[in-house]
Amino acid sequence: MNASPPSVSDAKQQAWQYWFVDGLRHLLLGIAILSISICMLYPPRPRAFWQLAIWAATLTLYVALMVRERQILEWLKTKITYPRTGYVQSPFDVTDLAVSPNVLELGLAPADERRAEAQRLLIAQRRQLWRAAALVVAGSLAMLLIESRWVYTVAGVLFALAMWALRRNDKVSWVAIVGIPILGTCMTVFFVPGSYPPNRVAWFMAGWGGLFVLDGTIALTRYLLRHPMSKVAEP
């Protein structure tokens, strides 16, 4: 027998991680960030039909990924993930109400201690999320407001810290965590002062999106190699 989930919270955690194991979510997120950065980098010019067409296509792709992300992800999972390793309801659909707060995990520690431990974990998780959001906002504001080439290195480090905080829950790989500070440092070193300001942010976003695409592609390739399609007859 495999290592089985000994508790409800473990089963929940495994189901959450299963949602990210195929890399599709990061792949779509990366494509969305890339497409909006391309729109920012190449704004449409009059009398340039192809440029306008490409701009409109990337913008449409971005809007579609933002508005229909869930449906696109479900469709891809139906083709790739569910036939290989099975279907489980998205963790975003499972509300906390589904698991009764009165349910206690089985264990040898007294009930009060277990309840306190569960509460502590929940608070720590929320605090981590807020910390990551604050780091991302600080990095973004710094890029937009501060006119210095070093701001990209600082923003890269802040973004990396934010992703490092989310690495367990959102399965962010080291590719993105290590890649972002390197990207920021590269932008500091190769940044040409005097270029149009929004482009610098767009290049940073393009790099970030590229890292997510790389992360998602690696995870997807690994997943496909580990789980080749096999016909399983169900009862």
Q: Which one of 46, 96, 108, 229 is in contact with another protein (CB under 8 A)?
A: 108
Q: What's the rounded Cα separation, in Å, for the pair 181 and 159?
A: 8
What is the Cα Rg of the chain in Å?
A: 21
Nearest distance from C-beta of residue 65 to another protein, angstroms: 20
Q: Which one of 60, 87, 144, 148 is in contact with another protein (CB under 8 A)?
A: 87
Answer yes or no whether residue 228 interacts with another protein by CB under 8 A.
no
Q: What's the rounded Cα separation, in Å, for the pair 163 and 172?
A: 7
Answer yes or no whether residue 174 interacts with another protein by CB under 8 A.
no
Footprint on residues 55-74 left by another protein (CB under 8 A): 74
46 vs 102 by CB, closer to another protein:
102
Footprint on residues 2-61 left by another protein (CB under 8 A): 2, 4-9, 11-12, 14-15, 18
Answer yes or no whether residue 94 interacts with another protein by CB under 8 A.
yes
Going from the C-alpha of 188 to that of each of 49, 141, 159, the distances in angstroms are: 34, 17, 15
Answer yes or no whether residue 190 interacts with another protein by CB under 8 A.
no
* Burial of 125: CB neighbours in 10 Å, binned 0-12, 13-18, 19+: exposed
Q: Which one of 92, 96, 110, 229 is in contact with another protein (CB under 8 A)?
A: 110
Nearest distance from C-beta of residue 176 to another protein, angstroms: 27
Contacts of 202 (CB under 8 A, 6+ apart): 37, 40, 41
Q: Which one of 43, 66, 70, 107 is in contact with another protein (CB under 8 A)?
A: 107
Answer yes or no whether residue 235 interacts with another protein by CB under 8 A.
yes
* Residue carrying the six token digits 């040409």: 192
Q: Which one of 47, 93, 147, 225 is in contact with another protein (CB under 8 A)?
A: 93
Q: With contact defined as beta carbons under 8 Å apart, do 24 and 73 qualify?
A: yes
Answer yes or no whether residue 106 interacts with another protein by CB under 8 A.
yes
14 vs 51 by CB, closer to another protein:
14
Q: What's the rounded Cα separation, in Å, for the pair 24 and 69?
A: 11
Q: Which one of 40, 59, 104, 157 is in contact with another protein (CB under 8 A)?
A: 104
- Amino acid 213 reads V
Nearest distance from C-beta of residue 10 to another protein, angstroms: 8
Contacts of 201 (CB under 8 A, 6+ apart): 40, 143, 144
Going from the C-alpha of 42 to that of each of 35, 36, 50, 93, the distances in angstroms are: 11, 10, 11, 37
Q: Where on the chain is the footprint of another protein (CB under 8 A)?
A: 1-2, 4-9, 11-12, 14-15, 18, 74-75, 78-79, 82-83, 85-89, 91, 93-94, 98-100, 102-104, 106-111, 232-235
